[in-house]
Amino acid sequence: MRKPRPLTTLQEVIITREREAATIAYKDPAYGTSTLQIGPEVAQMTDLEILDLYNQTLRAQAELTKIPYVATEIPLGSP
**Residue pLDDT, tens place only, 1-30:** 455 677 889 999 999 999 999 999 999 988
With cut-offs at 50, 70 and 90, classify the pLDDT of residue 56: very high
Residue 67 confidence (pLDDT) above 90? no
The DSSP secondary structure of 6-73, one letter per residue, reads PP--GGGEEEEEETTEEEEEESSTTS-EEEEE--GGGGG--HHHHHHHHHHHHHHHHHHHTSPP---P
Q: Tell me, what's the pLDDT at 5? A: 74
